[in-house]
């Protein structure tokens, strides 16, 4: 089941961003997906679903937003290096 979530934006936002409502809606969905993934609230698969793209495409797009695919603590990184 899908739900529609609406947000109201001043026309000036669309003019400033030089985007159509459809383009902006897609960008907002992608940005929300990236942020929820970064916060650990969505898996990469669910975030990709929110963004409306494949999981592979979503993971590839993370670099555009400077979000790492994997978040390792320094201790986890040291352990991985030790075991390499």
Strand, helix or coil for residue 28: helix
pTM greater than the 0.85 cutoff: no
Condensed to tens digits (0 to 9), the pLDDT of residues 43-71 reads: 999 999 999 999 999 999 999 999 988 77
- Chain length of the chain: 84
Condensed to tens digits (0 to 9), the pLDDT of residues 20-50 reads: 999 999 999 999 999 999 999 999 999 999 9
Residues 54-77 as b/e (b if ≥16 CB within 10 A, e otherwise) read eeeebbebbeeeeeeeeeeeeeee
């Amino acid at each position: 089941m899908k739900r529609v979530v609406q947000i109201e934006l001043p026309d000036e936002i669309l003019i400033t961003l030089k985007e159509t409502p459809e383009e902006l809606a897609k960008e907002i969905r992608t940005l929300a997906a990236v942020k929820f993934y970064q916060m650990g609230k969505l898996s990469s698969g669910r975030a990709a679903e929110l963004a409306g793209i494949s999981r592979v495409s979503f993971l590839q797009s993370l670099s555009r937003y400077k979000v790492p695919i994997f978040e390792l603590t320094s201790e986890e990184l040291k352990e991985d290096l030790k075991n390499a």
